[in-house]
């Protein structure tokens, strides 16, 4: 190897060493600024990892809550034959709640069929000027919102409470709101199922839980 070749190799080595030293300095500065070697800020990486873990926990059910699991007395209203309710719900119709101060918030779906025709539950049932009742609707998707106030010490509301709030809003006699033989002043044979499971007995006393899909069918013929 010639002397010139040796000098060239030495020059390359020095350039590589200089490049490596420069890269090391850049990485050290990035780390000091909270940036990883990939160029992604550490805070962004931490956020992305946190969101991934949160998604896993949510989908696995770790963050879901069941307010009924510590109240075994409610289970008797979730059997096939629903007993007459002995709960205290009278105060619910007098409460006004808001999204900022509720103590518990959950939803259930209520599908109603009268003589074969699906009934669309109107929006803003339970909502009037200056007051939003603990059971109400916001749109016409048949989703019932339950928002119990923080100071509420009564029983979890049954499905009959929503019908009573609805009946009061349209000036209908509460006795004609909902029962085993009446749906909003439509008298006839009434059947009800929850998540596809048939229910009998005092249907208005059924206590919905979060995510329940309730179907009520009334045939007046």
- 181-194 confidence digits (pLDDT tens): 999 999 999 999 99
Domain boundary among 60, 85, 103: 60
Q: HEC string of the chain?
A: CCHHHHHHHHHHHHHHHHHHHHHHHHHHHHHHCCECCCCCEHHHHHHHHHHHHHHHHHHHCCCCCCCCCCCHHHHHHHCCEECCCCCCCHHHHHCCCCCCCEEEEEEEEEEEEECCEEECCCCCCCEECCEECCEECCCCCCEEEEEEECCCCCCCCCHHHHHHHHHHHCCCCHHHCEECCEECCEECEEEEEECCEEEEECHHHCCCCCCCEEEEEEECC
- 1-53 confidence digits (pLDDT tens): 545 554 545 555 554 555 555 556 655 655 555 555 555 566 666 667 667 76
88 in the same domain as 190: yes
Domain that includes residue 25, residue range = 3-60
147 in the same domain as 116: yes
- 132-182 confidence digits (pLDDT tens): 999 999 999 999 999 988 878 888 899 999 999 999 999 999 889 999 999
130 in the same domain as 105: yes
- 156 within some domain: yes
What pLDDT does residue 58 have? 46
209 in the same domain as 120: yes
- 66 within some domain: no
212 in the same domain as 183: yes
- 13 within some domain: yes
- 67 within some domain: no
pTM metric for this prediction: 0.69
- 115 within some domain: yes
86 in the same domain as 56: no
Domain boundary among 60, 81, 109: 60
pLDDT over 60 (residue 105): yes
């Amino acid at each position: 190897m010639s002397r010139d070749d040796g000098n060239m190799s030495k020059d390359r080595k020095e350039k590589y060493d200089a490049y490596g030293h420069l890269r090391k300095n850049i990485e050290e500065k990035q780390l000091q600024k909270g940036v990883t070697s990939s160029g992604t800020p550490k805070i962004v990486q931490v956020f992305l990892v946190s969101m991934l873990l949160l998604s896993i926990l949510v989908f696995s059910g770790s963050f879901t809550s069941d307010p009924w699991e510590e109240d075994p007395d409610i289970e008797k209203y979730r059997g096939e034959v629903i007993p007459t309710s002995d709960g205290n719900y009278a105060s619910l119709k007098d409460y006004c709640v808001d999204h900022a101060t509720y103590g518990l918030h959950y939803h259930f779906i209520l599908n109603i069929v009268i003589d074969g025709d699906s009934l669309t539950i109107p929006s803003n049932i339970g909502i009037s000027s200056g007051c939003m009742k603990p059971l109400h609707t916001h749109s016409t998707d048949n989703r019932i919102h339950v928002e119990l106030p923080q100071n509420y010490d009564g029983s979890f509301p049954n499905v009959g409470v929503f019908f009573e709030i609805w009946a009061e809003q349209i000036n209908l006699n509460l006795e004609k709101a909902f029962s085993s033989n009446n749906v909003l002043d439509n008298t006839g044979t009434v059947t009800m199922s929850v998540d596809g499971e048939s229910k009998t007995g005092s249907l208005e006393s059924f206590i919905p839980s979060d995510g329940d899909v309730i179907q009520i069918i009334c045939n007046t013929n």
